[in-house]
Amino acid sequence: MKVPVSKPLFSELAKENILDALNDKAISGLFGKYIPEFEESFAEFCGSKYAISCSSGTAAIHLPLAAYGLKKGDEVLVSSLTNMATFFAVMYTGATPIPVDIDLDTLNMNIDDLNKKINDKTKAILVVHLFGHPVDMNLIMKVAEDRNIPIFEDCAESHGAEYLGQKVGSFGTAGSFSFFANKILTSGEGGIVTTNDSQLNDKIRNIKSLAFGDEDKFQHKDIGFNYRFTNLQAALACEQVKNADFLVNKRIEIANFYNEEFKNYSDVINLPQQKNYAKNVYWMYHMVLNPNEKLFNSRQEICDRLGEKGIETRSGFVPFNLQQIFIKKGMTRPEDCPNASLTAKASFYIPTGPDISSEELDYVSTNFKMILDSLL
Ligand SMILES: Cc1ncc(COP(=O)(O)O)c(C=O)c1O
């Protein structure tokens, strides 16, 4: 049996929508009914006033930072353990990202390290709701309010996640979601920005599409980007948003199944958490081998042996403070974020995509437990 980490799941409506977009000849990012439909339905899903589609999750992080006006000399505090796209997006603006350490349980931004690293050059905080678990936003919002600086949310992995009953992406100045093929909702590639700020909405809409002029289209208002999402992608994305509750619940069901199956191993493996303030949507079933226990150095062996059984795994992210290119440039040091470094040595995830069958889930679980038993 071969079980990939993620297979997307579509209903018939996805095919109908795509065919419809093709028949309409509306394939670009400038025309077609599916783009506004996607944006309106996603804004509603997220509980935000505006949603602006774009070409990727990375673009969705870059656009609001650029529209807000971040520039060289500004510092942005960013959760160190993330997909490096979060950091790259800050660098595109010329600003300097400063890595902030994480909590070992949720893997999200640590409030003490945030307070330690904040200073007069800090112009924004960029949190990441990692692996579907929301950040403890009240703590971060208090710091941001005291300093009068904005918060941006990287929600690439957390469609539908909630903090105290409110959807992520609706707290900060802007939220950024990815629609890459392995994400909770997908259109293959793509992204969307959420915001409640009408001026930011206007500016993002303009700069994402080459900053065309209002009266004279080719008298551009700014240096723009082509970060447009296409109507073809939107045709697919509309179907995903319609089925969002189902797709989010599917991830939760998969995580609940694994949690039950692996509960006897929770002393040697830190299983995904759900804090009492959180609705975790478990983008991927991500585990960390307990640093104080026997299996801490066994990630490679566990993943290799799962691979021999046809079960795909991925190692967890390498945080900013362990990225060789940035260490060499003197932008960070491994010791800047000890919790992120510790987590990176022993984290990995197993198949979690929405199209996984119950036979496949049983197969993954049985083999995983067998491998653990042989190592303990
Ligand atoms: C936390 C996080 N941020 C940003 C991104 C970038 O999204 P994309 O690949 O759509 O550009 C991803 C995923 O790829 C991600 O997981």
CATH number at residue 255: 3.90.1150.10
Residues 212 and 252 in one domain: no
Domain assignment of residue 289, given as a range: 245-375
pLDDT tens per residue across span 100-144:
999 999 999 999 999 999 999 999 999 999 999 999 999 999 999
Predicted confidence (pLDDT) at residue 293 exceeds the cutoff of 90: no
Boundary-marking domain end, from 243, 258, 276: 243
Instruction: Give the nearest ligand 1 atom to 130 CA.
Output: 1
Name residue, tokens 């403070």.
321
Residues 273 and 251 in one domain: yes
pLDDT tens per residue across span 296-314:
999 999 999 999 999 999 9
Average pLDDT of the chain to the nearest whole number? 98
Is position 4 within any domain? no
For a pocket test of ligand 1, which of 180, 192, 208, 281 has the largest count of ligand atoms closer than 8 A to its C-beta? 180
Predicted confidence (pLDDT) at residue 282 exceeds the cutoff of 90: yes
pLDDT band at 145 (very low <50, low <70, confident <90, very high): very high
Residues 170 and 208 in one domain: yes
Q: Is the CB of 283 under 6 A from ligand 1?
A: no
Residue 292's pLDDT is: 83
Residues 79 and 141 in one domain: yes
**Identity of the residue numbered 284:** M
Q: What percent of the chain has a predicted confidence (pLDDT) above 90? A: 99
Q: In 10 A of CB 75, how many CB atoms?
A: 19
Residues 309 and 236 in one domain: no
Is position 6 within any domain? no
For a pocket test of ligand 1, which of 55, 58, 131 has the largest count of ligand atoms closer than 8 A to its C-beta? 58
- How many A from CA of 58 to the centre of ligand 1? 6
Residues 228 and 111 in one domain: yes
Distance of CA 242 to CAs 70, 237, 254, 256, 324, Å?
35, 9, 20, 23, 42
Boundary-marking domain end, from 227, 243, 259: 243
